[in-house]
Amino acid sequence: MNRLQDKVAVVSGGASGIGAAVVRLFVEEGARVLACDIQPPLDAALRTLLDEAPEKVRFTTCDASKESDVAAAVALATETWGRLDAAVACAGVPGQGSDIDLAVDEWDRIMAINARGVFLLTKHSLPPMIAGGGGSITNISSAYGVVGAPGFAAYCASKGAVRTFTKSTAVEHAHQRIRANSIHPGVIETPMLQGIFDRSDDPEATRAAFSAQQPNGFNGAPEDIAWGCVYLASDEARFVNGVELPIDGGLLAG
């Protein structure tokens, strides 16, 4: 407990899945958190937390791909709590389609949320972090940001961009006591993943195919990723910078 005591954080994609789990665990660990998302909070535990602890957590509507929305969200956090110590970019979309038949508009949509959204949160989080003497940026990439996968051309490209962009941030701002790291989840049971199953011709067969990628034989939970975010935002990780952290049940080890 209290690993993030008195820290202030902004979490994009905070309405559900990994983002909601990050918000909840950050608050449990003593942080004050602004959750932002284009959709209202879907996570029941998060909704309860918002009702019961408004001094610790707030929610604002934000399109991660729009600079004005992201800038306003960061400003709201700093105005509410006086500083910014951590930013976690969880907003993302899956996006399926091969490179030969993917529509240009769909490519642009996926890149706008998954890659531009990370850039925008970093861009607007850096000034208050630098002014406050440092901070931690954690960007949620994917195992598919390290290796390729058929049928996920734009998704792989966008998550690969997150991986290397994060390293650029890490080396550019290390002297300002900014740490930037990426997390690379394996197959995680989130509403986004469930959407992929539901849109397939055979949801159970698709679920089984995804699970079969995991050497441990089962899918992860949002909290598995959120605990990694807690660590990277904490002072325990003060010497961790520019790292790509797989939390994937061994998927990338094979």
Q: What is the DSSP string of 102-121?
A: --HHHHHHHHIIIIIHHHHH
Domain CATH number, residue 200: 3.40.50.720
Residues annotated as part of the active site: 155
Tell me how far apart the alpha carbons of residues 34 and 10 are, in angstroms, rounded to a whole number: 5
Other C-beta atoms closer than 10 Å to the C-beta of 2 total 10
Distance CA(204)–CA(136), nearest Å, equals: 39
The CA-atom distances, in angstroms, between 234 and each of 1, 9, 168, 170, 194 are 11, 11, 21, 16, 31
Please count the other Cβ atoms lying within 10 Å of the Cβ belonging to residue 76.
16
Q: Is residue 254 part of a domain?
A: no
Residue 119 lies in a domain: yes
| Non-local CB neighbours of 106 within 8 Å, separated by 6+ positions | 95, 97, 154
Q: How far is CA 214 from CA 146, 191, 250, in A?
A: 15, 19, 7
- Domain span at 207: 8-247
Overall number of domains in the chain: 1
Distance in angstroms (rounded) separating the CA atoms of residues 2 and 100: 49
Q: What angle do CA 104, 165, 110 make, to 5 degrees?
A: 25
The first and second tokens of residue 18, run together, are 């990994």
53 within a domain of the structure (yes/no): yes
Residue 16 within a domain: yes
3-state secondary structure of 59: strand
In a domain, 207, yes or no: yes
Q: Is residue 168 part of a domain?
A: yes
| Residue 252 covered by a domain | no
User: Among 79, 153, 164, which residue's Cα sits nearest to residue 119?
Assistant: 164
Q: Read out DSSP for 74-102? A: HHHHHHHHS---EEEE-------B-TTT-
- Alpha-carbon distance of 100 to 108, in angstroms, equals 15
Q: Is 136 inside a domain boundary? A: yes
Q: What is the pLDDT along the chain (254 residues), one digit of tens a residue?
A: 799 999 999 999 999 999 999 999 999 999 999 999 999 999 999 999 999 999 999 999 999 999 999 999 999 999 999 999 999 999 999 887 889 999 999 999 999 999 999 999 999 999 999 999 999 999 999 999 999 988 899 999 999 999 999 999 999 999 999 999 999 999 898 877 777 777 878 888 877 877 787 888 888 999 999 999 999 999 999 999 999 999 999 999 97
Task: Dig out the tokens for 95 from the structure.
Answer: 């996006």
Q: Residue 1 has what pLDDT?
A: 77
Handedness of CA 19, 24, 26, 32 (dihedral sign): positive
Identity at 116, one-letter amino acid code: R
